[in-house]
Amino acid sequence: MGQCFSAEVERPPPEEPHIGKDRPVKIIIAGAPASGKGTQCENIKTKYGVVHLSTGDMLRAAVAAGTDVGKKAKEFMDSGRLVPDDVIIGVVKDRLEQDDCVKKGWLLDGFPRTAAQAEALADAGVSADVFIFLNVPDEVLVERVVGRRTDPVTGKIYHMTFSPPENDEILERCEQRSDDTEEKVKVRLEQFHANVEAVKGNYTSIIVVVDGSQAPSEVSEHVAKAIDEKLAE
């Protein structure tokens, strides 16, 4: 007698997503002014292929595209008022749902900035794989900021200790930003610390603290290791 076969074909189980470049990675990074966050964002973007997002860029893009939340944001921006959290969250959520972010993953740069924003982001259904915090002592941050100088001719940024101007002619024309004084930096740092501590409380299960006072290449190694380890959990 012939053997009876079921009409249903047994399908193999779906493959688990691969870790790293083959899987969209969702990252939030936070760091004080002069913590080296910009450099690390570029490195993360290159290594993991994610879409690098800052709130300023997202707001400008939403306004330019004329989306519903973009129109709301424009009303506040045109009148010189701060864009409220609910509008910012709407802009961020819309952006994260676009194809490039869904396919490639994303890197939220310096957002959320407050506990209210972190909670609103969670309420909107947005979650990350890892929260990277670049930890740099205040005295190091102050030294980095106060020593910064900009060449008004080329736009190049120097540091009087770490990367001084090549010659006296450039040195003489270099300028210091008005808010790059020790007093103003300390005020900015106080505000940053007050907000970031509250934000970190919303990401205790995925936070990774990286020593940002090391050389940029060493920080990059630690950041990549932290991301890979978090994704492998």
Q: Which residues are catalytic?
A: 37, 113, 148, 177, 188
Is residue 22 very low, low, confident or very high in pLDDT (cuts 50, 70, 90)? low
Looking at residue 1, its pLDDT comes to 45
* Cα distance between residue 84 and residue 114, in whole Å: 12
Long-range Cβ contacts of 196-202 (<8 Å, 24+ apart): 196/30, 196/32, 196/113, 196/133, 198/114, 198/115, 198/118, 199/30, 199/112, 199/113, 199/114, 199/115, 199/117, 199/118, 200/30, 200/131, 200/133, 201/115, 202/112, 202/115, 202/118, 202/119, 202/122
pTM of the model: 0.81
Tell whether the model's pLDDT for residue 140 goes beyond 80: yes
**pLDDT tens, position by position, 112-125:** 988 999 999 999 89
Q: Which of 199, 34, 23 is nearest to 121 (CA)?
A: 199
CA–CA separation, 113 vs 111, rounded Å?
5
Amino acid type, 84: P
> Tokens 């941050």 correspond to what residue?
141
Q: How far is CA 129 from the centre of its chain?
A: 13
Residue-wise pLDDT for 26-63, tens only, equals: 999 999 989 999 999 999 999 999 999 998 889 899 99
Show the tokens assigned to 125: 């259904």
